[in-house]
Amino acid sequence: MKTISKIALLTAGLAASTATWAAGTDAGAIITNTATATFDDPATGNTGSTSATAPDITVAELINVNVTAENTVPVETQPGGANQVLEFTVTNTGNGTEAFTLTAANLAGDDFDAESVTVYLDSNNDGVFNAGDQVVTADLVLDADESATVFIVGNIPGTAATGQQAELELTATSATPGAATAAPGTLLPGQGTNTPAGAVVGTAVTDTDTGTFVVGTLITNAYVDLDKSIESRQDPFGGTTDIPGTVVTYLITATAVNGDVNNLVVADSIPLSMTLVADSVTIDGAAKTDVAGDDEVDVAGSDVSVDLGTLTENTTVEIRLQAEIN
């Protein structure tokens, strides 16, 4: 230990690797913490400085996983349907590269079981089950915060009746030895990726989610399919480069699905690095003003609100607005 007996100003600094992963600092990161001090000696008029460094901290791997079913409503199918698909996203929410074992199973208590159930990886990353996807025959390896699209594919029995449902569950479990049966917070020495500190079992070393097939027509709640895209851009020189002064035209489309919707309001907040072009909002090509109360559009600072009221089923409304890069 270093001791200073003169008048001193003590400052401490922390030097560490940073990460944006869901679980924080990367496994294997070395954290160094150094304290520094400067001081004056009134007897001699001299100044001095000193420092002390604590032992390095090596971050262990924290094991966690998340499984999310992407089909928010049951997937409609028909009796005898082949290669019917449920979509899932598996995400490594830990802080190190980890392997996960994937399993799919029919759940009890529903109306029927899907047949020939198989797990596929979206090998070509196009988000659609097709011939380019491969059967999962080994553990799925994901880096920290990395996600993969996974499909459960099965056949529907010819005896399934209209309105009947089948629920299937996808499970992802850490393949690290001992992790699946250990309590959260358990340190597994000698395990973990890129770290000598071992691996720690998180609160979600195993995770599951469920998708559903339904036979026949399914009545679901009405909803709005909302999409936003960049329709065009023009820079101050007549080109399309994103630089200060470039005006970007955004296109927002809203479509009523599975029925009419009432009291539909579309809101958009312009980023701080952009400025809304005054009176640039249009609805289906019709110009609108920014003044509150005179039409469907209300602008307050950088916030745009469009009150569309009732939108009938399968009707699409196009909203355009322009913003300039500051």
CA–CA gap between residue 30 and residue 145 (Å, rounded): 19
CA–CA gap between residue 148 and residue 132 (Å, rounded): 15
**Domain holding 247: CATH number?**
2.60.40.740
Dihedral, 190, 196, 197, 202 alpha carbons, nearest 10? -60
Quick one: 67 and 182 in the same domain?
Answer: yes
pLDDT recorded at residue 193:
84
Quick one: 124 and 167 in the same domain?
Answer: yes
Mean pLDDT of 27-38: 94
CA–CA gap between residue 232 and residue 277 (Å, rounded): 14
Quick one: 79 and 27 in the same domain?
Answer: no
Mean pLDDT score of the chain: 90
Q: Which residue has the tokens 């952009």?
A: 274
Query: Is there a domain that residue 42 lies in?
Result: yes
Residue 100 has pLDDT above 70, yes or no: yes
Residue 77 identity: T
Residue 22 has pLDDT above 80, yes or no: no
Of 181, 215, 249, which one is at a domain's C-terminal end? 215
CA–CA gap between residue 14 and residue 17 (Å, rounded): 10
Quick one: 127 and 145 in the same domain?
Answer: yes
Residue 21 has φ and ψ, to the nearest 5°, of -65, 160
Quick one: 179 and 134 in the same domain?
Answer: yes
- Which tens digits make up the pLDDT trace of 152-210? 999 999 999 989 999 999 999 999 999 999 999 999 999 988 889 999 999 999 999 99
Q: What is the DSSP string of 104-147?
A: EEEPTTSS---EEEEEEE-TT-SSS-STT-EE--SPEEE-TT-E
pLDDT recorded at residue 297:
94
pLDDT recorded at residue 219:
46
Quick one: 183 and 286 in the same domain?
Answer: no
Query: Is there a domain that residue 245 lies in?
Result: yes
Quick one: 41 and 91 in the same domain?
Answer: no
Q: What is the pTM (predicted TM-score) of this model?
A: 0.59
Quick one: 203 and 236 in the same domain?
Answer: no
> What percentage of the chain carries pLDDT values higher than 90?
85
Quick one: 73 and 195 in the same domain?
Answer: yes
Residue-range definition of the domain harbouring residue 198 = 63-215
SS3 letters for 18-80? CCCECCECCCCCEEEEEEEEEEECCCCCCEEEEEEECCCEECCEEECEEEEECCCCCEEECCC
CA–CA gap between residue 36 and residue 146 (Å, rounded): 38
> What percentage of the chain carries pLDDT values higher than 70?
92
Structural domain tally of the chain? 3
Q: Which of 22-26, 131-135, 159-163, 316-320 has the lowest mean pLDDT?
A: 22-26
Quick one: 295 and 265 in the same domain?
Answer: yes
Quick one: 178 and 305 in the same domain?
Answer: no
Q: List the structure tokens of 147.
A: 């996600």
**Domain holding 191: CATH number?**
2.60.40.10
Confidence label for 23 from pLDDT (cuts 50, 70 and 90): low
Residue 5 has φ and ψ, to the nearest 5°, of -100, -10
Query: Is there a domain that residue 44 lies in?
Result: yes
Q: Greatest CA span in the chain, whole angstroms?
A: 98
Quick one: 235 and 272 in the same domain?
Answer: yes
Residue 48 has φ and ψ, to the nearest 5°, of -150, 170
- Which tens digits make up the pLDDT trace of 276-289? 999 999 999 999 99
Query: Is there a domain that residue 261 lies in?
Result: yes
pLDDT recorded at residue 292:
87
Query: Is there a domain that residue 3 lies in?
Result: no
